[in-house]
Structure 1
Amino acid sequence: MTFQTDLMLASVHGADSADRATVLTDGTETPETISSVDDAGPSSVSDEKIIYNSSGAIVSGAADVLLCKMLPTSSHCPDNHTIFTLLVNLRAFISPADLLQKVLQHCMFEQNSKSDNFRKESRSKMFENMFHVCAEWTTSIPYDFREPAMRDRLLEIFGLCVIDDAALRKCDELMLNLRTTLSKLERYEVALRSLHQNIEDPPSTADQLVGLAVICPEPLVVAQQLAHIELERLGMIGVDEFAEILKSGQIENLCVDKNATKAANIRHYVEWFNQLTNLVATEILRHSRKRYRVKTIEYFIDVAKECINIGNFNSLMSIVAGLSLQPVARLKRTWARVEKSKLEILQHQLDPSGNFISYRATLKAAIWRSDGAKQDAERVIIPFFGLLMKDLYLLHHRCVMPLPNGHLNYAMFTQFADNLRNLLKWKSRPCPFKRNSQVLQYLLLAANYSETNMLRLSYDYEVAELSADKEQYKRIRELTKQQSS
């Protein structure tokens, strides 16, 4: 099983066309009418290297001019939005290491460009403004500084700018926070490597209700524990990883390329999605009696509904993917006993028409609730990661395409950065629900069946009727005999 299920790779129905609206991760649609210089409008201002619209917002610009917008001086300090927008987009054209080197060179030049810059007041302002840029970088994209060379270069910048003990303490505190973040990442990666998903082979079945439904009969509690896992794993994905994988264009092969170290946490998150999908199917097929398969299906439908209420759309889609796997979906006599009303909400959410318009409307409502929430439990937003990546890919693709005049499309830069900003906000929120160690352990470590064993059990429960099914069952039985001999 991989991330390339039919559900994950459902067509975005032409959303990558230039004349379509880009669907953003906040559920809204913004027409792409500012993707060329001519779209800027008759009131646009141009000095050949940069173009503004009538509101004074940058539409496009030459790379060197846009870079200058991020570089501080004693009299200019870029805002956080500008810094973040350029940091996440310029890396498509220049590496973070080279970009930080340019910041260092700018700092050296700026300090020596005129005599006034040697005055204490100017040096103090230069430090504050440079520190502001570095603080935004290390806070929003800390994984850029995993390499010692990047941290050394950062220390060089501080060495040039520090003017007194107070400034030195601020720099020390920033470096301490950065090291703490990177240490947490290292511990997380070590912990994940120690988790090994077991495959139960040969599979054992039961003639009574077993598994998660017995361990935790309350679907809400399971949904809450899923939110813990989702927020932990989503929260460890760095902005640099999104930029790296989108730049490569390999968003559909994350589980195949185990060497994609720069996007390792994205790969771990996708593997978790697949693990939960397989767990759902395994829990259903673990029951040899139809009545308990029905109970387990209805149980997971209830868990999925609680995921919607919480705002955890990634687990929702993973559960539905498990219910949709062939070994489960083909059990017609089992599904005939499932209460139909339980399926209606999920069917509505998963309708792919209009580029998943139903899901996007629900996500938008959840964001609206989150923004106005007074309780932490109402602030959880965990988007459907498969569709999120496709949305980001379409935006990033527009970002890296130079305009006819050679400019970079800053308007698209802004859209891409705003979407990542939203994601940063959602994934940084702590999970407000009480942890249940027993349920968490089961979700993370319970053994799953292999795809072959799932199909074999499925055909044992309900015989193959179609010729294609009969041929598949014959191949599975032959394969099973070969493995046992």
Structure 2
Amino acid sequence: MNGTTPEIVKNGLIKEKPSVSFSTEIHVNGASLCFETNSIIMDSDGTILSGAAEDLLQKMLPTRDYCPSRQFTFTLLLNLRAFISPWDLLQKILQHCMFEQNSNVDNFRRESRVKMFENVLQFCQEWTQNIPYDFRDASMRDRLLELFGLCSVDSSTQRKCDELMYSLRSTLSKLERYENALRSLQQNVEDPPIQSELFVGLANICRDPSVVAQQLAHIELERLSMIGPDELVELMSSGDLEDLHQLSEKANKATNIQHYVAWFNQLTTLVATEILRHSRKKFRVKTIEYFIDVAKECINIGNFNSLMAIVAGLSLHPIARLKKTWARVEKSKLEILQHQLDPTGNFVSYRATLKAAIWRWEGAKQDTEKVIIPFFGLLIKDLFLIYSRCTVILPNGHLNFAMFTQFAEQLRNLIKWKNRPCPFKRNPPVLQYLLLAANYSDKNLLLLSYEYESPEISVEKEEYRRLKEDSPK
């Protein structure tokens, strides 16, 4: 991937343009793929469908008279990393800018240099704002400063460079503080479990389910906002998505995805814990109905990830098997959730509700109507299906830009949703409880379930016997 060493001649002009092409061969899935075709295929409307790697890269490089759209830039920055590292790509951009400045006498004029700078700046703004984690590596920041040093014209342009670097460092500093805070935030496990004959827990602290749903939106948006597009691509390239939690542990840069998945699991366990914390059936029923109401409020807000986590908690075996408890739950409260969670037609009901939330966002007149937190597990699987087609080289050796665009559009929507400040007032006591309340272990959840309602089938009886034997006397 090394370019030709530029030869400096008279007047400081470069005689030969340095190469910014890919290597002639790229190995994907064990196959050697050549990129000798120099063409871009478009449809009748001028929309790019596919293109040779070098030609697509050339269309992304800013010049004095040309700047790619931010959408086009994001699409290629996001997808080309499957074939070339961000560091190598930035190196090629630096080589390109060196040539542009020295290839033509006109490019030395102040007006031309300012135009070139503005186009380079817009390109770098798109990169640092929407895929900032590429610059966690100091070498990437150093190379970016080198690019600005090359293109900067005067104190005004230098100030713009400084502002971009300040914003980038602030973003990376926020990320570091967030990751350090989560590492120090250890989830407590209550063992042995403390049961109560009184009505206790979250439902007693906050009787209004809508307030809890709003606080869940705060947590969701904070954690979702910290997931970078590069982390998602890293996850997509890790392999099969059958087990999202285990897969996120395999991905080298998926730290914030791990945190988000861990939060989903934490909320799921919290729901089950809050129910089984009550030794009296009527309070277990009351707690179940309370969380169903919280889930409904999550739908109204547009917080589908918490909705799914709550329903997952209600569906855990220790909760789902409590037939006598569920017999007293108001059936009408379950109907809307059953409709949303129907997996028929690849979750067609949920997708319809999500689409309605998107329409509401687009026509919203109030901030509270502009919240969309998608069900992360299903979103990841949808993204994986698209991404798996992005990395397939077409028979003519082209990259599939149509799929690049589809993948990028999905992530641009996610960026728009996740970067939205939460419009609801914070409630510190409720937030603290949601984040720090001790949960029961899986073993204790099941043990309490069997103690409340005796096992009926032989498998459960045997499991209950083993649990009691393993429990401390």
What TM-score does the superposition give when structure 1 sets the normalisation length? 0.88
* Paired letter, 2:111: E
Residue in structure 1 matched with residue 393 of structure 2 by the alignment: 402
Match in the other structure for 2:169: 179
Q: Is residue 2:231 matched to residue 1:234?
A: no
Runs of 4+ in 1 over 6 A off after TM superposition: none
- Aligned match of 1:469: 460
2:335 is equivalent to residue 340 of structure 1: no
Residue 302 of structure 2 corresponds to residue 315 of structure 1: no
What is the alpha-carbon distance in structure 1 between the residues aligned to residue 369 and residue 54 of structure 2? 43
Amino acid at match of 1:474: R
- How far 1:472 sits from its partner (Å)? 1.5
Q: 1:119 aligns with which of 109, 119, 137?
A: 109
Q: Alignment partner for residue 295 of structure 1, among 273, 280, 286?
A: 286
The letter of the residue matching 1:175 is M
Q: Deviations over 1:322-342 (max 9, x none)?
A: 000000000000000000000
Give 1:468 deviation, angstroms.
1.4
**Which residue of structure 1 lines up, in the alignment, with residue 29 of structure 2?**
none
Q: Deviations over 1:421-479 (max 9, x none)?
A: 00000001100101000000000000000001000000000111111111221221222
- TM-fit CA distance, 1:255: 3.6
Match of 2:428 in 1: 437
Q: Quote the Cα distance in structure 2 between the aligned partners of 1:99 and 1:197.
A: 40
Which letter maps to 2:81? R
| Conservation of the 8 A alpha-carbon contact between 1:75 and 1:125 | yes
Taking the aligned partners of 2:240 and 2:151, their CA distance within structure 1 comes to: 40
1:305 has 2:305 as partner:
no
Matches within 5 A, 1:182-261: 182-249=172-239, 251-253=241-243, 255-256=245-246, 258=249, 260-261=251-252
1:454 aligned counterpart, secondary structure = helix
Q: What corresponds to 2:100 in structure 1?
A: 110
Q: Structure 2: how far apart are the matches of 1:393 and 1:403?
A: 18
| Separation (CA, whole Å) in 1 of partners of 2:61 and 2:240 | 32
Distance 1:462 1:370 in 2: 45
Q: Which range moves more in the overlay, 253-262 or 171-180?
A: 253-262
How far is the alpha carbon of 1:50 from its aligned partner?
1.0
AA aligned to 1:134 is C
Write the distance in 2 (CA, Å) between the matches of 1:179 and 1:235: 17
Match of 2:137 in 1: 147
Tell me: CA distance 1:96–1:250, structure 2 relative to 1, closer, same or farther (3 Å): farther
Say which is worse superposed, 281-290 or 106-115, in terms of deviation: 106-115
Secondary structure at 1:248 match in 2:
coil
Quote the offset at 1:115 in angstroms: 2.0
Q: Given the alignment, which residue of 259, 271, 291 partners 1:268? A: 259
Task: For 1:131, give the aligned amino acid.
Answer: L
In the TM superposition, residue 71 of structure 1 has moved relative to its aligned partner by 0.3
Q: CA deviation at 1:250?
A: 5.3
Asked if the contact 2:238–2:251 (Cα under 8 Å) also holds between the matched residues in 1, the reply is no
What's 1:72 paired with? Answer: 62
Deviations 1:112-139 (A, max 9, x none): 2222211222211111111110111001
Identity of aligned residues (%): 72
* TM-aligned CA deviation for residue 150 of structure 1: 0.3
SS at match of 2:50: strand
Indicate if the aligned counterparts of 2:303 and 2:373 stay in contact, CA closer than 8 A.
yes
How many angstroms apart in 2 are the aligned matches of 1:48 and 1:183?
A: 42
Question: What is the identity, as a one-letter code, of the residue corresponding to 1:237?
Answer: I
Per chain length, whose mean CA-contact separation is higher, i.e. which structure has more relative contact order (CA < 8 Å, sep 6+)? 1
**Which consecutive unaligned segments of at least 5 residues does structure 1 have?**
1-46
Distance in structure 2 (CA, Å) of the matches to 1:66 and 1:473: 62
How far has the Cα of 1:260 moved from its partner?
Answer: 4.1
In structure 1, what is the Cα distance between the partners aligned to 2:81 and 2:241?
18
SS in 2 for 1:262: coil
SS for the counterpart of 1:60 is strand
1:367–1:381 contact (8 Å) kept in structure 2: yes
Contact 1:127 1:161 in 2 (8 A): yes
For residues 234-287 of structure 1, the C-alpha deviation after alignment (integer angstroms, 9 at most, x for no partner) is 011111111111111254555446474511001100000000000000000111
Query: What's 1:49 paired with?
Result: 39
How many aligned residue pairs are there? 436
Partner secondary structure for residue 77 of structure 1: coil
TM-score scaled by length of structure 2: 0.91
Match of 1:85 in 2: 75
One-letter code of the match for 2:94?
Answer: L
For residue 128 of structure 2, what is the aligned residue in structure 1? 138
C-alpha contact 1:254 1:260 (8 A) present in aligned 2: no
In the alignment, the residues of structure 2 paired with residue 196 and residue 259 of structure 1 have an alpha-carbon distance, to the nearest angstrom, of 21
Of 427, 443, 449 in structure 1, the residue corresponding to residue 418 of structure 2 is 427
Aligned residue in 1 for 2:18: none
Specify the code of the residue in structure 2 equivalent to 1:274: N
- Aligned twin of 1:368: 359
Q: Once superposed, what is the RMSD of the aligned Cα atoms?
A: 1.2
Give the letter aligned to residue 63 of structure 2.
T
Alignment of 1:346-357 (within 5 A): 346-357=337-348
| 2:152 counterpart of 1:162 | yes
Secondary structure at the aligned position of 1:56 is classed as coil
Conservation of the 8 A alpha-carbon contact between 2:78 and 2:230 = yes
**Deviation readout 1:177-223 (Å, 9 max, x if unpaired):** 11111111111111111111011111110111110000001000000
Q: Is the 8 A contact 1:241 1:263 kept in 2?
A: yes
Tell me which amino acid in the other structure corresponds to 2:397.
Answer: G
* Distance in 1 separating the partners of 2:468 and 2:359: 52
What are the ranges of 5 or more consecutive residues in structure 2 without an aligned counterpart? 1-36
2: CA distance, partners of 1:184 / 1:355: 37
Rounded to whole Å, the distance in 2 between the matches of 1:447 and 1:119 is 66
For residues 320 and 115 of structure 1, what CA distance do their matches in structure 2 show?
Answer: 67
